[in-house]
Structure formats: C-alpha cells, structure tokens
C-alpha cells in the first residue's frame, strides 16, 4: 500500500511545495511593489503639502491674517487624523506646536538635517505597541515668517496600519489560493496516479497468472496508451498461456499414446499372448511408434535450439529433387497405409538449391507429413518443383480439410492447433513453427493458400545459389 501511494505523495508534495514557493515569491514581490507605491504616494503628498503651506502663508500675508487666526488655521490643516505636519525655525523650535519632537519620539537631528538642505526619510517606533510611523523632513522657505529657511516635518501615522493591512491581505489571499489550489492538485494528482495504481494491481494479477484482469482505460494520453499496452500484453500472455497448456496436453498425449502401445505389445509378448509368428508384425508397429517419439523429441529440441539462437546453417548447393525422392521413399509406408497417391513433378532435370540440406529435410518432412496427416484416405498429394531465374519454387498441396482465414493467420505460431476437426489429429502444433523459422534463417519465403474442404497448398521459394 505504501509503495502504491508513494507516487501520489511525491507528486502532491512536490506540486504543493512548488505552489507554496511560487506564492511566497509572489507575495514578497507584490508586497515590495505595493510598499514602494505607498512610499511614492507619501512623497507626492509631502511635496503637495509643502506647496500648500507656502501658498497658505502667502495668502495669509496678503489678507493680513492675525497670529491667532493663523495659528487656528494651521492646527486645522496640519494636525490631521492620519498625519501631522509641523514647521521648525532655524533654532529647531516647533512653530505653533511646541514639544512636538518629544511627543513623537523624534530626534532633533531630523530638523537639523532638513535645515541643512538634506531631505530626510526615516521610520520610527512609537511606544510599546511598536507602531511604525513614516517621517519625512525637508527645508522650506516662507518669507512671511522669516527670511531664514524653516524645516517642515511630516509624520504619516497610517504607515503602520496600511503596511499591516497589505501584509494581511497578501497572507489571506495566498492562504485561500493555496488551500483551493491544494485541493485541485490533490484531485488532479489522484486522477493521474489512480490509473497507475490500477495498472500496478493489474500487473500483480498478471504475475499471479490471472490474465483475465484488465486495466480500466479512461484516457487517450500516455497513461491511457500504457493501459492499452498492458491490456494487449495480458491478452497475448493469456493466449500464450493457453497455448502452453494445450501444448503440455498435446505432448503428454503424443508421448503417452505410443508408449502405451509399446508397453502393451511388450507385455503381451512377455506373457506369450502374441504368437511368435506375429511378433515381427508387432515389432514393426513398435518401431513406428518409436519413430513417432523420436520425431516429437527432435521437434522439441529443434524448437529450443531455434529459440536460443544456437543454430548455424551449413549451406551448400545440393540436389533438392533427389532429397525429395528420398523423403517420399521414407514416408511411403504412411502413404501406402492411407492409400494415398503422391504426384511428384520435377520437370526433365534435377533441381539444385543453396541451403542447409539437413534443416531443409526437416522442412520437407514436416510439410509432407502435415499433408498426409490432414488428408483423407485415398486422396492425392502433389509436389511440384519449378526452377526459375534465381530461385526454386516448391509447391506441396493436399486435398485435405483446408483452413479458414482465422486459422491461416495463426498456423505459424508455436503450439497452435485448429479448434475444429484438425484438433482431433495428433501433433504438438510446433511443426509448422519450425518450418517457418528454418526458412526465415534461409531468407526464404513460404505462402499458404487454403479453403475449407478444398485442401491446402504450401509454396516455398528459396535461392538456387549463394547470393
């Protein structure tokens, strides 16, 4: 369970971490930009207030405003809820508001710097509440007050509150977005990893031999393609497993039948049940049964060698016509027993091919025996050898049961046997597979033509000489 969920955990955690870092960077950048904009706004307000104060004193001088009227007007305009403005003379004394610096916890250095022509910007802590205010100071010229320059100091009390609001807004926005996005990531991560978990479960079922299990494919992306591939693999493995079971059953039957006959005849001879006059007849039968066993064992060994890639061809130019004559002579007892007629057409002269004669003998024996096995009594088997420009074409045809298109598509597969009447015949289903693999090693081709009830024709084409 832990292993199955590890991909989800890694995917979800990595995405969540990336998201968190992205929001953190975004919040820092946004907070910096907003902070910079707020300070720019304060600077514009400060410059506007300087102009306003200069205009105010100029207007007051023109109308001849009294000191009391001037004082009340300045208090109204300069002492607001969120900000305070104060003027200082050349000796650092607050005009219209004595004790201002001490009340605000400001240093007189701010005024001195402003009077010297320096624009001063600073932040200060107020009281135990650690309230941060933003302070700006600059020199200002008001001729109606004095010929000497004055200093203007402006304290923005809303700086701390606005800064905290910005931080909280960024934090809450990021938190809400993080929670919502985490839920989306959780859902999408599950959606991505659930098919992988399903595939893992299916693979475990395949490992246990249950090839009927299928992956539930819902998408057409790479994961969906992987699911389809696993389903196809399961189908192929299931087919191969069924072929293996059929092969074991066929081999067991093909081994048991001749062994049972041989054992029975030997027992009868030892018991004296079979008269001595008939012993030769039964010994001949046992000899044929041992030939069947040898062919079966040889086919199994050939299949194993072909699969392991241990075969090396010993090619040379040899007389294939003579080879076919010898093979037919060997198989004559079988054809005579089934009253079959062999029509062997080689033309007027012998034909030669470039191949491994021993391996090609296996090919021809398998094809001719296949024709004998699936043909009815008294039917004909035709073998036609045609010499062409650079190749030799050999046709082996029968008048047997024939095959359907579905059967033709599978005849070269190992262990394949037809589900119809052909399945009632003996054989392991590996003969034609050996034929195809040997011809592939020779770079030869073989074509099958067949119709149900009309027989089958195998046509192989092989080189006459070394290419």
> DSSP assignment of 379-429, as one string?
-EEEEEEEE-SSEEEEEEEE-S----HHHHTTTTSTT---SSGGGGS---S
Mean pLDDT of the chain: 79
- Please give the residue that has the higher pLDDT: either 66 or 391: 391
Percent of the chain with pLDDT over 70: 83
pTM: 0.48
- Please give the residue that has the higher pLDDT: either 380 or 433: 380
Res 62: pLDDT? 78
Res 420: pLDDT? 44
pLDDT tier, 110 (very low <50, low <70, confident <90, very high otherwise): low
Which strands form 94-95's sheet, in the order they lie side by side? 94-95, 83-88, 150-156, 131-140, 120-126
Condensed to tens digits (0 to 9), the pLDDT of residues 250-292 reads 677 667 777 888 888 888 888 888 888 888 888 888 887 888 7
CA 440 to CA 71: how far, in whole Å?
A: 113
Mean pLDDT of 366-395: 89
CA 154 to CA 147: how far, in whole Å?
A: 22
Q: Which residues contact 170 (CB under 8 A, 6 or more apart)?
A: 27, 30, 31
Q: Which residues contact 277 (CB under 8 A, 6 or more apart)?
A: none
Whether residue 218 is predicted with pLDDT greater than 70 in this model: the reply is: yes
**Domains in the chain and their CATH numbers?**
2-167 (3.30.450.20), 222-304 (1.10.287.130), 313-463 (3.30.565.10)
Whether residue 120 is predicted with pLDDT greater than 60 in this model: the reply is: no
Condensed to tens digits (0 to 9), the pLDDT of residues 78-88 reads 666 677 777 77
Helix axis angle, 320-330 to 357-373, nearest 10°: 50
pLDDT tier, 459 (very low <50, low <70, confident <90, very high otherwise): very high
Q: Which residues contact 331 (CB under 8 A, 6 or more apart)?
A: 365, 368, 369, 372
Condensed to tens digits (0 to 9), the pLDDT of residues 386-397 reads 988 889 999 999
The lowest-confidence range among 118-132, 221-235, 280-294 is 118-132
Tokens of 67: 């000191």
pLDDT tier, 318 (very low <50, low <70, confident <90, very high otherwise): very high
Whether residue 99 is predicted with pLDDT greater than 80 in this model: the reply is: no
Q: Which residues contact 120 (CB under 8 A, 6 or more apart)?
A: 110, 113, 114, 135, 136, 137, 138
Q: Is 122 left (phi over 0), alpha (psi -120 to 50) or beta?
A: beta
Condensed to tens digits (0 to 9), the pLDDT of residues 134-177 reads 777 788 887 777 777 777 777 777 777 777 787 788 788 888 88
Whether residue 125 is predicted with pLDDT greater than 80 in this model: the reply is: no
Whether residue 329 is predicted with pLDDT greater than 70 in this model: the reply is: yes
CA 304 to CA 87: how far, in whole Å?
A: 106
- Nearest CA to 385 out of 330, 319, 455 is that of 319
Residue 192, CA atoms < 13 Å, CB-side half-sphere: 15
Mean pLDDT of 376-382: 89
Res 107: pLDDT? 58
Res 322: pLDDT? 92
Whether residue 37 is predicted with pLDDT greater than 90 in this model: the reply is: no
Res 423: pLDDT? 43
pLDDT tier, 3 (very low <50, low <70, confident <90, very high otherwise): very low
Q: Check if the beta carbon of residue 279 is closer than 8 Å to that of residue 446.
A: no
Condensed to tens digits (0 to 9), the pLDDT of residues 413-451 reads 766 666 444 444 455 567 788 888 889 889 999 999 988
């Amino acid at each position: 369970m832990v292993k199955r969920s590890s991909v989800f955990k890694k995917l979800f955690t990595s995405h969540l971490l990336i998201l968190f870092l992205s929001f953190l960077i975004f919040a820092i950048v946004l907070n910096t930009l907003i902070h910079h904009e707020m300070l720019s706004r304060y600077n514009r307000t400060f410059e506007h207030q300087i102009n306003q104060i200069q205009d105010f004193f100029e207007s007051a001088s023109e109308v001849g405003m009294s000191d009391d009227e001037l004082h009340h007007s300045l208090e109204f305009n300069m002492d607001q809820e969120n900000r305070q403005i104060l003027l200082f003379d050349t000796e650092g004394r607050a005009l219209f508001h004595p004790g201002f610096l001490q009340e605000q916890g400001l240093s007189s250095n701010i005024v001195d710097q402003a009077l010297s022509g320096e624009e001063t910007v600073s932040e200060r802590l107020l009281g135990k509440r650690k309230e941060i205010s933003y302070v700006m100071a600059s020199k200002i010229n008001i001729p109606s007050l004095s010929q000497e320059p004055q200093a203007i100091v402006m304290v923005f009390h809303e700086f701390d509150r606005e800064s905290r609001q910005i931080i909280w807004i960024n934090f809450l926005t990021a938190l809400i977005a993080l929670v919502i996005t985490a839920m989306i990531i959780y859902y999408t991560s599950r959606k991505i990893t659930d098919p992988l978990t399903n595939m893992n479960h299916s693979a475990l079922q395949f490992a246990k031999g249950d090839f009927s299990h299928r992956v539930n494919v819902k998408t057409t992306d790479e994961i969906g393609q992987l699911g389809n591939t696993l389903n196809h693999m399961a189908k192929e493995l299931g087919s191969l497993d069924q072929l293996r079971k059929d092969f074991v059953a066929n081999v067991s039957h093909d081994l048991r039948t001749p062994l049972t006959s041989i054992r029975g005849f030997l027992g009868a001879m030892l018991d004296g049940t079979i008269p001595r006059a008939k012993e030769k007849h039964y010994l001949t039968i046992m000899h044929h049964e041992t030939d069947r066993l040898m062919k079966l064992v040889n086919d199994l060994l050939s299949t194993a060698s072909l699969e392991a890639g241990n075969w090396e061809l010993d090619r040379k130019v040899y007389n294939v016509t003579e080879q076919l004559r010898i093979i037919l002579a060997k198989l004559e007892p079988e054809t005579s027993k089934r009253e079959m007629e062999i029509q062997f057409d080689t033309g007027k002269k012998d034909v030669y091919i470039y191949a491994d004669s021993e391996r090609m003998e296996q090919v021809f024996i398998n094809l001719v025996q296949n024709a004998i096995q699936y043909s009815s009594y008294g039917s004909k088997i035709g073998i036609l050898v045609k010499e062409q420009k650079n190749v030799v074409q050999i046709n082996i045809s029968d008048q047997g049961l024939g095959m359907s298109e579905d059967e033709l598509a599978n005849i070269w597969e190992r262990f394949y046997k037809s589900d119809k009447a052909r399945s009632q015949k003996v054989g392991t289903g590996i003969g034609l597979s050996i034929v195809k693999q040997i011809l592939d090693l020779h770079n030869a081709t073989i074509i099958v033509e067949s119709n149900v009830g009309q027989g089958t024709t195998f046509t192989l084409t092989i080189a006459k000489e070394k290419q």
